[in-house]
Amino acid sequence: MKPFRYLPRLRLVPRRVRPRRIPTQSYLAVSPPNLAANRVPKVRLFSSTSFSTSNWGPSYGPIEDVEGLYGYQPGGHHPLNINDLVHDRYRVVHKLGHGSFSTIWLALDESSADARYVAIKVCTAEYDGGEVNILRQLRRSPGIGESFWVPKILHHFGIDGPNGRHECIVTPPARCSLRDAREASSRWLFPLDVARSMAAQLAMAVQVVHEWGWVHGDIHFGNILLQMPASLNHLTVQQLYEQFGAPDPQPVLLLKETGEETRQSDSESPPLPTGVPSYAIPPIWLGKSGDDLSLSETKIILTDFGVAFRPEDKSRFESYTPLVSRPPEALFEPTVPLSFASDIWSLGCVIFEIMGHRSLIDGILATQNRVTTQHVHLLGKPPAEWWAKWQSREKHFDDDGTPRDKESDIWNWERRFEGWVQSPRRDFGMEVMGQEEAHAFMDMLKTMVVWRPEERPTAEDFMDMEWMKKWAIPAYEEGIKRMCKS
C-alpha cells in the first residue's frame, strides 16, 4: 500500500460536470457470455467497454462511462434509446447509470397528469429477478413500509426485446451514489456534519433491514444513493436538459481486426449484431459534489438488494460484497452461513469511508491476500484456526504475526484514522473530530470490525453506541429540523 495521504487515486478529469471514474464498473472477472454465472463472483476488477476476444464476439470502439457493450447479447442488456416509450407509459429521457446486471434510465411517467420522473432499472434477461421479490417482501414488513431509507417500488413489469425478457423495476430517481458525490468533490471529503448524518442514516437503514430479518449482503459506497429533491418534478424535459445537460449519444462502432474503428458511414462495415444499440448513452449527472452538500439535503437511500437474504429462510455462504468491505469469515469459513454480523463488518468499513477520504481497507485492484494482510495489520493475528488456514501468511508475517512489511507500509487503526480522516480534513481547513468524538468513533469501529462475527455488535446495540448517540444521530436530527424549516 502506498503511504500517500489524501490525494485521491482514481480521480479522472471531469467531462462536463459529471465525475468520471475509471470508465465503467462493468468488467467482470468472469467470461461475459455466461451472464447467469456472472451473478456468482460479483467482483469487479477493472473496466473496459471495448472488451472482446474472438470467442466472445465482436469488439467495439471504447466509449467512456457506459455499460460494457459485450453485454448486449442474448441474455444480456436490453437496447434502449432516448425517447423510447417503455411499457406504453415511460418516456426515456436520459440514462442514470448502469450496474453489472442492469442499465438504469431516467424516464417521464406519461400516465400521470403531472408527469413525474422515475428511474427504470432494466435488468439483463438472464438476471434471476430476485431483487423485486426481496424488496416487495421487505416493504411488506411492518415498519419498513414507510422507511425512506429502503427503495420504494413504484411499478414492476417485464419487457421483451432482441436479447430476451427483461425485468424492469421503477423507483424514484436518486441524485447519485455517495461514491459519485465524493468523486465530484474537490476535497474528496464530506463536511463533518453531513458525514455524521449519512453515517446515522445508513446505520438506521441497516437496523431496519436487520430488524425484519434481512441481511443486505452488499453494503458499499456505490450502493448508497443520495435522494433527489422533489423539485426535480417541477422541471420540464427541456429545463432538465438545460440544467443538467442533454443526452450525448455516442455511436457504437465495431472494431476491425486491425483494431481500427469502422465508421457508421463505411459502406463496407458489417452491421451491428442484433440486439446491440446504435448509440450508447453516457449518464446524466444529477448529483452534487460532496463539498457542497448541506445537512438539510442529506438524505440517503440504501439500494441494490439484489443479493439480500433472510438467514432464517436461506443460508448464504458466499459474500458478494466488494473486497474492501467483505468480512473475513467469507474467506476463512466458507461452509458457515453468513449472518447479520457480515453486514456489521461492512457497515463499519463504509462508515469509516463516509468520514474519511478513502476506504478503510485499500482495495484498488487489491487481491484477497493483500486485503487479508491489511486486516492483520489492523486487527492483529486472526483466530488460530483461520491463521493456520491462510496459506500465504508466510509471505507477509512471521509465525507470531509480526509483519514482514516495512514499518512505513503498516497502517494500523490510529494511522488510518489520522492519515485518512483527520489529517486531510485539517489540511483543507475543514472541521475535524475533537478528541472525545475521535475516541468514541474509534471505539465504535473497533467493536464492529473484529475477526469473529459473533463478537460484533448487533445493529440495535450499535445504535446505542456513544458516537451514534452523541454525534451521528444529532446531526441527522438537525438535518431534519433544517429540512422542515426550508
Ligand X SMILES: Nc1ncnc2c1ncn2[C@@H]1O[C@H](COP(=O)(O)OP(=O)(O)OP(=O)(O)O)[C@@H](O)[C@H]1O
Q: Does 68 bind ligand X (CB under 6 A)?
A: no
Degrees, nearest 5: CA angle 196-194-216: 60
Q: Minimal distance in Å, beta carbon 102 to ligand X? A: 4
> Under rule CB under 6 A, which residues in 188-227 are in contact with ligand X?
222-223, 225
Binding of residue 325 to ligand X (CB under 6 A): no
Task: Compute, in degrees rounded to 10, the torsion defined by CA atoms 60, 61, 64, 65.
Answer: -10
Can you tell me the distance from the alpha carbon of 207 to that of 215, in angstroms, rounded to the nearest whole number?
Answer: 10
Site residue total, ligand X (CB under 6 A): 20
**CA 34/CA 27 separation, integer angstroms:** 13
Least distance from C-beta 300 to ligand X, angstroms? 12
Are residues 92 and 237 in contact, defined by beta-carbon separation less than 8 angstroms? no
Q: At what angle do helices 192-211 and 473-485 cross, to 10 degrees?
A: 100
49 versus 100: smaller Cβ distance to ligand X: 100
Q: Note whether 101 binds ligand X by CB under 6 A.
A: yes
Evaluate whether 329 touches 372 at the Cβ level (below 8 Å).
Answer: no
CA distances to 163, 319, 359 from 323, rounded to whole Å, are 31, 9, 11
Q: Which stretch binds ligand X (CB under 6 A): 101-109, 230-238, 379-387, 394-402?
A: 101-109
Stretches 13-21, 166-174, 344-352, 452-460: which one binds ligand X (CB under 6 A)?
A: 166-174
Sign of CA dihedral 326, 327, 331, 336: negative
- As a whole number of angstroms, the distance between CA 411 and CA 203 comes to 26
Task: Tell me if 28 contacts ligand X by CB under 6 A.
Answer: no
Is 288 assigned a ligand-binding role in the annotation?
no
Residue that the C-alpha cell 455516442 belongs to: 250
- Considering the complex, state which of residue 24 and residue 372 has its C-beta at the smaller distance from ligand X: 24
Interface residues for ligand X in 169-188 (CB under 6 A)?
Answer: 171, 173-174, 177
> Residue from 73, 102, 321, 372 that binds ligand X (CB under 6 A)?
102
Rounded to the nearest whole angstrom, what is the least distance from the CB of residue 134 to ligand X in the complex?
12
Instruction: Choose between 174 and 202: whose C-beta lies nearer to ligand X.
Output: 174
Based on the shown chain and the rule CB under 6 A, indicate whether residue 99 belongs to the binding site for ligand X.
yes
List interacting residues with ligand X (CB under 6 A): 96-102, 104, 119, 121, 171, 173-174, 177, 222-223, 225, 303-304, 306
Binding residues for ATP: 121
